[in-house]
Amino acid sequence: MNRLFLLAILFVFIISCGKSKTERGENFTGSSSVEESSEIDASSYDPKRGEGKHTNVELGATLDQSMATKGEEVAGVKCTSCHKMTDERLVGPGWKGVTERRTPEWIMNFITNPDPMIDKDPELQAQLELCLVRMPNQSLSDTEAREIVEYMRKNDGVK
């Protein structure tokens, strides 16, 4: 009798392990798959602005030193464990030149709202394949995000 019971448990275990994550209802990304999201939302995604509420970020012609200093402090706590200020990749890509490649709206939307952008942006999806780690949402305020943008500008040589 015990043998039959053990065989039944083993059979159930083998059957349950054979299902895919989707069939078991598991989804470890917190949203639909990247392929589904990019197909569904590709037409509405703006690669210059990203996905989020920041539509018009005003930058001064010169660097706001006070904001850049605060941004450096925030980045030291929330960002630099994964990002270097050079073009070298650590966990995530290096920050050198990011303000030359991306708009301030895109940067602020990404650092305040990374998950929807990763799901929709083909360039972020390609970056994810290289880095293998999704950028976590650090729960930055809009002010902190703007300060980080100013720190990134300082890093890119804006005076």
DSSP letters spanning 81-132: TTB-SSS-BSSS---TTHHHHS-HHHHHHHHHSHHHHHHH-HHHHHHHHHH-
| Per-residue pLDDT reduced to its tens digit, 2-56 | 666 555 554 544 444 444 433 434 333 333 333 444 344 556 788 888 888 999 9
CB burial of 94-113 (b: ≥16 within 10 Å; e: otherwise) equals ebbebbeebbbbbbbbbbbb
Q: How much is the average pLDDT of 92-108? A: 96
Least Cα distance to 128 among 7, 15, 17, 33 occurs for 33
Statement: the pTM of the whole predicted model exceeds 0.95: no
Place of tokens 């039959």: 4
pLDDT at 152: 98
Q: How much is the average pLDDT of 108-116? A: 95
Return the higher-pLDDT residue of 81 and 6: 81
pLDDT at 3: 66
Query: Where is average pLDDT lowest: 40-44, 65-69, 154-158?
Result: 40-44
Q: Give residue limits of the domains in the chain.
A: 32-155
pLDDT at 44: 77
Return the higher-pLDDT residue of 81 and 16: 81
Query: 81 falls in which pLDDT band (50, 70, 90)?
Result: very high
Which superfamily does 32-155 belong to?
Answer: Cytochrome c-like domain (1.10.760.10)
Backbone angles phi, psi at 20, to 5 degrees: -75, 165
